[in-house]
Chains A and B, each alone.
Chain A
Amino acid sequence: MIELHLIILAIVVSFGFVFSYLAMKEHDLLKALALSSVQSTFFALGFYILAAPDIVLAYLAIAVGAYTALVILAISKTERYEVGE
């Protein structure tokens, strides 16, 4: 009962998981933002495999486009590097 789409789903979501971990550990906020948008792309693929096309349309536009732009605007108003522990 090997189902190809479930394997692809597991791979895609685990890649998203790894990228979200890397985004959390990154101190350069712009790099962290890029990593988080890569994670969103993987999750969007996951939603597509889970047969939720309306979520894919909203998720891609919001997570890769609007959210990234809003956070870039916010970073431009503060500092680029996270300092201190």
Chain B
Amino acid sequence: MKRDVIVAVSFLLAFLFMAYALVYANVLGLGGAELRPLGEFYLSHSFAHEGLTSHSPEVVTAIVWNYRGFDTLFETFVFFLAIMGAFSVLRLTDEQEKLVKELEAREPHRQMDLIVRAITKLVVIMIVAISASIALHGHLTPGGGFQGGSAMAVASLLLFAAFSKFTLERKGLTVKHTVSAYALGLALILATVLAPVFLYGGKVLEINLLPGEMGLFNLDVGEYLAVTFGFLTVFLVLGVSEWIFKTVLRGEVND
């Protein structure tokens, strides 16, 4: 352990030396007050490039959608593949799911402290409100569907930890429902992306053809739904206890 501390401190010193050399001695010749050509280009073109704009009055979102719209769309697809991969690796047949339900009913009933439960309820309400404001103001302020959705996933995780998986399932958040909500979010994204092609004869993702900020708002809401319920699906699938999973897979159930 002592050796670890020495290594960590020497890393720290090396890093501080590098920071000093870069910032004060200016070894690489970065910095300075003058604007480089790339920065100038972004400053003058960030809100609209050759007439193409996502109608966002906020510069981070404007750059993200005007220059990296396809990138964000493909991130959604990568996330979809990850969720579906986890879902199909851990899938069970209908009979096996029935067995899982029976075995879970037999597990001892445990409960967190009253203080923990009461505070979790309060905090979850606050997180839900914040995540909704991040996601629904995604076209006006920094943040958006993905950020809001991941904050919302944290809220569902808190419920998961302080209460249990069964509380969520009793409230209607079963895997079937979360997957349906995930599909709804993806459908909203796809509809918004393809709407310019079919309605206005434009290109894919040319959301400036849609009236006002509707395109960006729809994408935000779709991504919010997709990320929230995508994460929740994975947590619900992974939340089955390991011994139950093993018992069911081996088929060793004797009543």
Binding site for B on A (CB under 8 A): 1, 3, 6, 10, 13-14, 17-18, 21-22, 25, 52-54, 57-58, 61-62, 65-66, 69-70, 73-74, 76-77
**Residue among B9, B134, B150, B234 having the largest count of chain A Cβ atoms under 10 Å:** B150
Give, as a whole number of angstroms, the nearest-CB distance from A85 to chain B.
Answer: 15
Q: How many A-B residue pairs have CB under 8 A?
A: 76
Question: What are 30 inter-chain pairs, A to B, with CB distance below 8 A?
Answer: A3-B23, A10-B23, A13-B15, A17-B11, A17-B12, A17-B15, A18-B9, A18-B12, A21-B4, A21-B11, A22-B4, A52-B60, A53-B142, A54-B60, A54-B142, A54-B143, A54-B147, A57-B134, A57-B143, A57-B147, A58-B146, A58-B150, A65-B150, A65-B153, A66-B154, A66-B231, A69-B160, A69-B161, A69-B235, A73-B235
Q: How many Å from the CB of A23 to the closest CB on chain B?
A: 11
B17 to chain A, nearest CB (A): 11
Contact A58:B147 (CB < 8 A) given known A17-B11, A18-B11: yes
B19 interface residue (CB < 8 Å to A): yes
Query: Complex: how many Å from CA A73 to CA B204?
Result: 39
* Contact yes or no, A25 B11, CB < 8 A: no
Scan B1-36; emit 1 where CB is below 8 A from any A CB, else 0: 000100111011001100100011000000000000
CA gap between A74 and B235 in the complex, in Å: 11
- Beyond A70-B238, A73-B239, whether A57 also contacts B142 by CB under 8 A is yes
Please give the number of chain B residues whose Cβ is less than 8 angstroms from any Cβ of chain A in the complex. Answer: 33
B207-241 contact mask (Cβ, 8 Å, vs A): 1 or 0: 00000000000000000000000010011001100
**4 tightest CB-CB pairs across the interface, nearest first?**
A65-B154, A61-B150, A57-B147, A53-B142
Q: Which residues in B have their C-beta under 8 angstroms from that of A6?
A: 19, 23
Interchain CB contact under 8 A, A53 and B60:
yes
Interface class of chain B by DSSP: helix
CB distance from A21 to the nearest CB of B (A): 5
Is the beta-carbon distance between B7 and A21 smaller than 8 angstroms? yes
Collect the chain A residues with CB atoms within 8 Å of residue B150's CB.
58, 61-62, 65-66
Q: How far is the CA of A14 from the CA of B20 in the complex (A)?
A: 12
Contact of B238 with A14 in the complex, beta carbons under 8 Å: no
Chain A residues with CB under 8 Å of B95's CB are none
Contact for A77 among B9, B15, B64, B242, CB less than 8 A: B242
